[in-house]
C-alpha cells in the first residue's frame, strides 16, 4: 500500500488542517497526499534541492518517506522550508530507526536510505542518526505543531535488533506468522517468534502487516522568528 494512503486512514484534525490549501508533495510517486497537490518526484528534478526547480511557496509542503533518501537531511529540510508560506506547514514522515532499521545500518530493507531518524536521543546506535526534534528547531520561524512516533500494528516481539538478515522469503515468513497468530496458542507462538527473530529480520511495514514504523513531524511557519521547543 502507498505510504500516504496508508497514513491518511488514521489522520485526525491536526493532519487534515495541515494539508489544507495549495500544496506540494515531494517524493510522492503515484500517491500524492491530496488530489490537487503539486507532485515533485524524480522526473521533476533533484529532491535534495527542490527550491532550485520550484519558484513558488505553498500552504503546505508534504513529504512521506523521502527525506531518508537525501544526502544531507539537515540541509534538505532547510531547502524544503523555503517553499512554505508564512502561516503554512511543513508536514514530514520518516522511518523510525529502532522500529524500521532495528539496529542495523545500512538498512536491511532499503539500501538507498542515507540516514536514520529518531525523535530525540542523546546517543544512537546509528552513525547516521538524525534527531527530528533538532531538525524542527533548526527551521527559522518554525512552531512545532506535532511530533509523534507512529507504530500502529507494529509487533515489537518480532523485532530483530542485530545482525539478522531479511531472508529471501521474509515477506512469506511474515505472512506465515500473521496466519499462525490466529491459530496457535501462546506457547507455540513464542517458539515461532524465537525462531523467526533468531534467523530473520522482518519488515513489518510491508504486507501482510502493513504496520507503521515512523515518525511524523508537522511544523508551522509563523512568519517571524518563531519559537523552539
Q: At residue 228, does pLDDT exceed 60?
A: no
Strand 116-118 and strand 38-40: the pairing is unpaired
Q: Which residues pair with 142 in a beta bridge?
A: 221
Q: Is the pLDDT of residue 223 over 90?
A: no
The alpha carbon torsion through 145, 17, 4, 226 (nearest 10 deg) reads -30
Segment 120-173, tens digit of pLDDT: 999 999 999 999 999 999 999 999 999 999 999 999 988 888 877 775 566 677
The percentage of residues in the chain with a pLDDT greater than 90, rounded to a whole number, is 67
Single pTM value for the model? 0.89
Amino acid at each position: 500500500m502507498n505510504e500516504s494512503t496508508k497514513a491518511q486512514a488514521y489522520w485526525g484534525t491536526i493532519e487534515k488542517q495541515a494539508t489544507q490549501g495549495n500544496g506540494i508533495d515531494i517524493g510522492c510517486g503515484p500517491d500524492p497526499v491530496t488530489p490537487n497537490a503539486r507532485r515533485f518526484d524524480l522526473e521533476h528534478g533533484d529532491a535534495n534541492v527542490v527550491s532550485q526547480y520550484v519558484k513558488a511557496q505553498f500552504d503546505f509542503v508534504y513529504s512521506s518517506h523521502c527525506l531518508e533518501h537525501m544526502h544531507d537531511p539537515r540541509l534538505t529540510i532547510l531547502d524544503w522550508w523555503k517553499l512554505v508560506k508564512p502561516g503554512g506547514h511543513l508536514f514530514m514522515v520518516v522511518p523510525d530507526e529502532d522500529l524500521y532499521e532495528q539496529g542495523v545500518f545500512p538498512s536491511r530493507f532499503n539500501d538507498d536510505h542515507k540516514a536514520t531518524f529518531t525523535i530525540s536521543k542523546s546517543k544512537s546506535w546509528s552513525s547516521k542518526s538524525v534527531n527530528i526534534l533538532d531538525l524542527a528547531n533548526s527551521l527559522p520561524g518554525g512552531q512545532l505543531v506535532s511530533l509523534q512516533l507512529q507504530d500502529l500494528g507494529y509487533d515489537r516481539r518480532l523485532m530483530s535488533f542485530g545482525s539478522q538478515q531479511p531472508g529471501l522469503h521474509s515477506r512469506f515468513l511474515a505472512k506465515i506468522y500473521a496466519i499462525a497468530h490466529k491459530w496457535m496458542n501462546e506457547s507455540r507462538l513464542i517458539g515461532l517468534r524465537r525462531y523467526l527473530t533468531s534467523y530473520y529480520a522482518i519488515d513489518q511495514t510491508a504486507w501482510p502487516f502493513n504496520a507503521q514504523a515512523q515518525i511524523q513531524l508537522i511544523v508551522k511557519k509563523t512568519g517571524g522568528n518563531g519559537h523552539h521547543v
